[in-house]
Amino acid sequence: MVKTDKNIETQLITPKIIIDADNAILGRLCSEVAKHLLDGYAVNIVNCENAIISGKRHSVLNEYRAMHKIHTHTNPRRGPFHPKRPDRLVRRTVRGMLPWKKSKGRNAYHRLLTYIGIPEEFSGLEIIKPKHADANKLDCKKITVGNLCKEFGWQE
Amino acid sequence: MGHRRVSAPHRSSLGYRRVRARRIVPAPRAWQSYEGAPKLLGFLGIKAGMTHCEYLEDRPRSHLVNREVTVAVTCIETPPNVVFGLRGYKKSPYGLKIVADLITTETKDELKRRVKPPKQYDLEKAKKKFEEHLEEIVELRAIIHTQPYLTGIGMKTPQIAEIKIGCSKIEEGYQYGLSLLGKEMLIRDVFKAGEFVDTIGVTKGKGFQGPVKRHGIKILQHKSKGTKRGVGSIGPWTPSRTMWTIPRSGQMGFNVRTEYNKRIMQIGSDGSQIVPKGGFVKYGVVKNNYVLLKGSVPGPKKRTILLREPVRKAPQHEKEPQILYISTRSQQG
């Protein structure tokens, strides 16, 4: 899990949203989350393993495999790193939609937390669905983030 | 005219990270998925030294079967391990997580050198809390400590470790763990002669070493410019950085290493039968129970070694090997 803003006062003031990634299209979900973050919200995403990527299984896998080949030539341990756990993969996808080189973007990123499943502490809280990311409107083939990550070695 | 070959195999394995171990008693990454009557799946011992023995070869496929064979053996002194706590882990999406633990109130005085006992502690309360979580617990581990003060090596502070309790049902394992609390476990309770074990230990530390000793590269000819104990070339002009594969100087040794499937040749209690005349060099005599393992074990003498039930498939020889002779010749000159 990731460190949040250490300043308790700002944590109290920051309004928090919990978003359900179940059956949500990954890119559309993440762009919506990025918008919320830049507006100053703290966002928690639950059920990350059930987010959906559209496309044939093998073509999605090939795209990610090609991405995994990108690393420092002289020392792969220096990155860039490619997360292989559903919650981290979703978090990394949001990072790509934030102005990472500006402090505005970095601070926004630190307000984002992602989870596999729904943690116990969220029981009874309002969990909202993203507005424009429903995967039911897709009539093509699709793959869940969880299944994708299993290909890369994630053990459920 | 001879000249250097264009390509050659790499001089050292790139499969290991050559970093110092964080602590001297390793925490294994994996335990055997054991089913059956509850038992501890590991034991801590102290490496004493090596000798050799002769035994009747009993591997049925060996061409030397039923003949006398000489093998090198490592002696590991195993004073009783004391169980002083229990710990339960539950499953979470991010790996195992501790849900409950308990510690005995009657611990040995020597343990205070390693851990500070809690001042106000209610064992009954802790047990109740533990039992509430029994349903979600998937792995039980016993917290044990060694008793190095029983040996002759002069070490007083015990080492502590977590050892998995193997069981079919967590309830059974928990009752077994409770029955062990505060008691001494003997090596005979955990392993038998003829079985196979994995050994996990920290290797001998060699400090900061150059690439010749650390990676085994060749020493260059004496007329080499600059240095002769370095690599001939540390890489191309571009990229103008050193590749991670280049053998360079750095920390050597003191790494955690696991060796798999070592056969227990003998478990004994009378050390005088195996200790060489004058004692093991840099160790002395063996005063407690001991284990003779076939082959070598990582680490120097006096190092704490974890013996673990094998996690990989071990050969099936459950009979105790018939040992004919154990060398007790002096190892000093």
> Which residue is closest to A156 within chain B, CA to CA?
B93
Q: Which of B141, B166, B185 is the last residue of a domain?
A: B185
One domain for residues B27 and B156: no
Q: What is the pLDDT of residue B317?
A: 67
pLDDT in tens, B19-73: 999 999 989 999 999 999 999 999 999 999 999 999 999 888 889 999 999 999 9
Largest CA distance in chain A: 50
**CATH number for position B283:** 2.40.30.10
CATH 3.20.20.450 for the A11-151 domain, yes or no: no
Q: Supply the range of the domain harboring residue B287.
A: 16-33+43-79+187-217+249-333
Both B196 and B267 in one domain: the answer is yes
* Residue B230 falls inside a structural domain: no
Q: In this structure, what is the dihedral angle of CA atoms A137, A141, A145, A150, given to the nearest 10 degrees?
A: 160
For tokens 């299944």, name the residue.
A147
Flag whether residue B236 sits within 8 Å of chain A, measured between CB atoms: no
Kindly state whether residues B68 and B204 are assigned to the same domain.
Answer: yes
3-state secondary structure chain A: CCCCCCCHHHHHHCCEEEEECCCEEHHHHHHHHHHHHHCCCEEEEECHHHCEEECCHHHHHHHHHHHHCCCCCCCHHHCCCCCCCHHHHHHHHHHCCCCCCCHHHHHHHHCEEECCCCCHHHCCCCCECCCCCEHHHCCCCEEEHHHHHHHCCCCC
Which helix (H) or strand (E) segment is B212 a member of? helix B211-215
User: Is A77 in Cβ contact with B244 (below 8 Å)?
Assistant: yes
When pLDDT is cut at 50, 70 and 90, the band that residue B119 belongs to is confident
Contacts of A121 in chain B (CB under 8 A): none
Over residues B160-166, the mean pLDDT reads: 96
Average pLDDT, chain B: 93
CB–CB of B243 and A74 under 8 A?
yes
Please indicate, yes or no, whether residues B56 and B195 belong to a single structural domain of this protein: yes
Quote the pLDDT of residue B60: 85
Structural domain total, chain B:
2
Query: Is residue B315 domain-resident?
Result: yes
Q: Is residue A121 within 8 angstroms of chain B, CB to CB?
A: no
Which residues in chain B are closer than 8 Å to A87, comparing Cβ atoms? 93
Helix, strand, coil percent content, chain B, rounded in steps of 5:
10, 35, 55
CA distances to A59, A60, A83, B312 from B62, in Å: 51, 51, 48, 21
Preceding peptide of B239 cis, ω within 30°: yes
Does residue B327 share a domain with residue B180?
no
CA-based nearest distance A25→chain B, Å: 22
Residues B282, B75: Cα–Cα separation, whole Å: 13
Write the pLDDT tens digit of every residue in B257-296: 999 999 999 999 999 999 999 999 999 999 999 999 999 9
- pTM beyond 0.90: the answer is no
Task: Note whether ipTM > 0.90 here.
Answer: no
- Please tell me whether residues B309 and B207 are part of one structural domain: yes
> Do B262 and B294 have their domain in common?
yes
Q: How far apart are CA B70 and CA B291, in angstroms?
A: 17
- B241: contact with A, CB 8 A cutoff: yes
Residue pair A27/A51 in contact by the 8 Å Cβ criterion: no
